[in-house]
A = this chain, B = another copy of it.
Amino acid sequence: MTVLTDRHGTEKYSADGHHAEREAIDAGLREAAARLPGPAAQIAAYHFGWTDRDGRPVDANSGKALRPLLTLLAAKAVAGDWRQAVPAAVAVEMIHNFSLIHDDIIDRDGVRRHRPTAWKVYGVNDAILVGDALHALAFEVVAEAGGEKATLGTGLLAQTVRALIEGQLADTRFEDRERVDLAECEAMSEAKTASLMGCATALGALFGGGSREQVDALQGFGFRLGLAFQHVDDLLGIWGDPAVTGKAVYSDLRNRKKSLPVTAALGSGHRDADELARLYRAETQLDETALRRAADLVEACGGRIASQQAAAALTEAAANRLAAEPFHDEAVAELTALAASTVGRVR
How far is B143's CA from A139's CA once the two chains are assembled, in angstroms?
Answer: 10
- A191-223 vs B: 1/0 string, CB under 8 Å? 000000000000000000000000000000000
- A121-163 vs B: 1/0 string, CB under 8 Å? 0000110110111011101101110111011101101110110
Given A105-B128, A106-B129, A139 and B157 contact (CB-CB distance below 8 Å): yes
Interface residue stretch chosen among A17-25, A32-40, A273-281: A32-40
Interface residue stretch chosen among A165-173, A253-261, A316-324: A165-173
Question: A76 near B: Cβ within 8 Å?
Answer: no
Find out whether the CB atom of B154 lies under 8 angstroms from the CB atom of A140. Answer: yes
Given A126-B169, A135-B135, A136-B135, A151 and B147 contact (CB-CB distance below 8 Å): yes
Question: A102 near B: Cβ within 8 Å?
Answer: yes
Given A128-B106, A140-B158, A133 and B36 contact (CB-CB distance below 8 Å): no
Copies in the complex: 2
Chain B positions within 8 Å of A172 at CB level? 125-126
Q: Of B146, B148, B155, which one neighbours A144 at CB under 8 angstroms? A: B155
How far, in Å, is A331 (CB) from chain B's closest CB? Answer: 28
Is the interface on chain A under 10, 10 to 19, 20 to 34, or 35 or more residues? 35 or more
Chain B positions within 8 Å of A161 at CB level? 132-133, 135-136
Chain A residues proximal to chain B, CB less than 8 Å: 35-37, 39-40, 98, 102, 105-106, 125-126, 128-129, 131-133, 135-137, 139-140, 142-144, 146-148, 150-152, 154-155, 157-159, 161-162, 165-166, 168-169, 172-173
Given contacts A39-B173, A125-B172, 16 further A-B contacts (CB under 8 A): A37-B165, A37-B169, A40-B165, A40-B166, A129-B169, A131-B132, A132-B132, A132-B161, A139-B139, A139-B154, A139-B157, A143-B151, A143-B152, A143-B155, A150-B150, A150-B154
